[in-house]
């Protein structure tokens, strides 16, 4: 139990997926300029990462390892993720049109979000058990969601700042992210 | 599919990827490996060349099957092609350059979801000939390599005081800004590099515009003078 708590804390703050592992940067920079977009994308990523890593864990240890097909993991994982996103999109569209309105646009984009494939590859690399994988995936993606939402607030404020023309937009965003990464370095001392 | 576009020569195609549409500094695509592996020039160069290889091969394959693949399922097909090529590259690096394989780590399989690769497949290779697509892939790959090497060189030089691949030392490691080889330094260096490049570009465009404005002004003044002279002549003729 203690082990799982440490893992949750580490994956949420210390090894934050955006600020420390550099996964999902494209969507982080692309979507964080508006709060509503950031919230929608964050929740969609949370759902997809948690579900897909459970699925890839099962496939890896129940099919690929016994069949000695582990060298195929990149291809299998990306297909599983793409298929799962498609099914999730159809399911949400059918059962909850209002949720589809909020998340629907972000779902197709998630297939090519490196955070999703990244988490699946990382739990294999670290030889996590199933419960560890669930905790790791849930808190890593929550870390993504938290950062992208906090960052959208910062970027909304940056519109009013007198930034030199060449640094407006992405360069200023990257520099702000650098300061945030420095702050998150402080969490290393906590465990 | 029958959009009429000017066909670029191979040289123009490569220059486009290298400078005008540089994936790192202008399009700002493929940011995860850009930030993740650029702690040393060796890794940055290795990643850049890996993507170059993947881009050329996937562009070639996708351009050659572009007429067979139905439009509705083209994206899944592209992803499978890319995943296959990346897996081949993984095996190759694992077998022949294990040190690079270890250094790139998780970012090697993640080339599958690199936006540049899928982006070029969709935007270029899906309606251009095989040869053109290979050159496009080469240009984009070289541009990516250039971006990564610039970033990695800056970070390694200022962060550790020396560049291992080139084997030269600028200053002692004790006085280096270690912060730059850490995650926060990656964001900062890239932000500053893109900002500086943007500033230079905007400056040059302004200068170009100023020169153009000046030329227009001179031309207008000449025209006005000519018209005034004509008028005077007419008036003079009228007086006569």
A166 domain residue, yes or no:
yes
Q: Which residues on chain B are in Cβ contact (under 8 Å) with A172?
A: 191, 195
pTM of the full predicted structure? 0.85
- Mean of per-residue pLDDT scores for chain A: 87
The parent domain of residue A139 ranges over 6-190
Cβ atoms of residues A99 and A92 within 8 Å: yes
* Cβ burial, residue B10 (10 Å; 0-12/13-18/19+): middle
Nearest beta carbon to residue A78 from set B83, B115, B188:
B83
How confident is the model at residue B189, as a pLDDT? Answer: 93
Interface of B with A in 18-37 (CB under 8 A): 28-36
User: In sequence order, what are the beta bridge partners of B162?
Assistant: B169
* Residue-wise pLDDT tens digits, A28-74: 887 777 888 888 888 888 989 999 999 999 999 999 989 888 888 88
A110 domain residue, yes or no:
yes
Q: Output DSSP code: residue B6.
A: P
Q: Is B46 on the interface with A (CB under 8 A)?
A: no
* Residue-wise pLDDT tens digits, B136-171: 999 999 999 999 999 999 999 888 888 887 777 777
Confidence of residue B2 (pLDDT cuts 50, 70, 90): very low
**Structure ipTM:** 0.86
Cβ atoms of residues B24 and B120 within 8 Å: no
Q: Do B191 and A173 touch (CB under 8 A)?
A: yes
Counting DSSP H helices and E strands in chain A, the numbers are 9, 0
Confidence of residue A147 (pLDDT cuts 50, 70, 90): very high
A25 domain residue, yes or no:
yes
Q: In this complex, how many residue pairs, one in chain A and one in chain B, have their CB atoms less than 8 Å apart?
A: 127
User: In sequence order, what are the beta bridge partners of B168?
Assistant: B163
- Whether the pLDDT of residue B3 is over 60: the answer is no
Task: Provide the number of structural domains found in chain A.
Answer: 1
A35 domain residue, yes or no:
yes
Distance CA A137, CA A117 (A): 11
How confident is the model at residue A124, as a pLDDT? Answer: 92
Q: Chain B residue closest to A86 (CA)?
A: B76
Confidence of residue B240 (pLDDT cuts 50, 70, 90): low
Distance CA B3, CA B98 (A): 45
For residue B197, the distance in angstroms to the closest alpha carbon of chain A comes to: 8
Residue A68's region, left for phi above 0, alpha for psi from -120 to 50, else beta, is left
How confident is the model at residue B199, as a pLDDT? Answer: 92
> Which residues does B90 contact at the CB level (< 8 Å), separation at least 6?
A74, B101, B108, B109
A1 domain residue, yes or no:
no
Chain center to CA of A136: 11
Choice between B8 and B218, residue whose per-residue pLDDT is larger = B218
How confident is the model at residue B12, as a pLDDT? Answer: 84
């Amino acid at each position: 139990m203690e082990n799982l708590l440490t893992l949750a804390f580490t994956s949420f703050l210390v090894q934050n997926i955006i600020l420390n592992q550099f996964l999902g940067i494209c969507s982080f920079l692309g979507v964080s300029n508006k709060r509503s977009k950031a919230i929608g994308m964050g929740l969609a990523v949370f759902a997809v990462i948690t579900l897909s890593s459970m699925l890839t864990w099962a496939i890896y240890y129940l099919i690929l390892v016994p069949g000695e097909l582990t060298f195929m993991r990149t291809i299998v994982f990306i297909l599983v993720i793409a298929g799962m996103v498609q099914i999730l999109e159809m399911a949400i569209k059918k059962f909850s049109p209002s949720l589809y309105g909020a998340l629907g646009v972000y779902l197709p984009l998630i297939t090519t979000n490196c955070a999703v494939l990244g988490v699946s590859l990382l739990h294999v690399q670290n030889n996590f058990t199933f419960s560890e994988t669930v905790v790791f995936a849930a808190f890593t993606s929550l870390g993504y969601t938290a950062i992208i939402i906090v960052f959208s607030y910062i970027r909304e404020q940056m519109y009013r700042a007198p930034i030199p023309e060449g640094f407006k937009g992405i360069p200023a965003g990257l520099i702000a992210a650098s300061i945030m990464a420095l702050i998150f370095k402080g969490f290393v001392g906590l465990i | 599919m029958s959009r009429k576009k000017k066909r670029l020569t191979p040289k123009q195609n490569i220059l486009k990827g290298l400078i005008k549409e540089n994936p790192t500094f202008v399009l700002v695509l493929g940011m995860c490996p850009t930030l993740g592996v650029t702690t040393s020039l060796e890794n940055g160069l290795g990643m850049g060349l890996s993507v170059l290889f993947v881009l050329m091969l996937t562009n070639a394959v996708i351009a050659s099957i572009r007429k067979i693949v139905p439009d509705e399922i083209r994206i899944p097909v592209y992803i499978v092609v890319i995943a296959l090529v990346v897996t081949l590259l993984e095996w190759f690096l694992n077998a022949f350059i294990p040190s690079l394989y270890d250094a790139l780590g998780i970012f090697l399989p993640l080339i599958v979801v690199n936006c540049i690769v899928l982006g070029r497949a969709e935007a270029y290779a899906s309606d251009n000939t095989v040869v053109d697509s290979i050159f496009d892939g080469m240009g984009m790959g070289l541009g990516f390599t250039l971006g990564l090497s610039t970033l990695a060189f800056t970070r390694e030089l200022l962060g550790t005081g020396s560049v291992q691949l080139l084997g030269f030392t600028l200053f002692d490691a004790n006085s280096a800004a270690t912060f730059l080889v850490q995650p926060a330094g990656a964001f900062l260096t890239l932000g500053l590099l893109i900002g500086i490049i943007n500033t230079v570009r905007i400056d040059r465009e302004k200068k170009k515009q100023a020169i153009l404005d000046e030329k227009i002004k001179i031309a207008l003044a000449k025209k006005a003078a000519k018209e005034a002279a004509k008028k005077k002549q007419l008036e003079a003729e009228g007086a006569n």
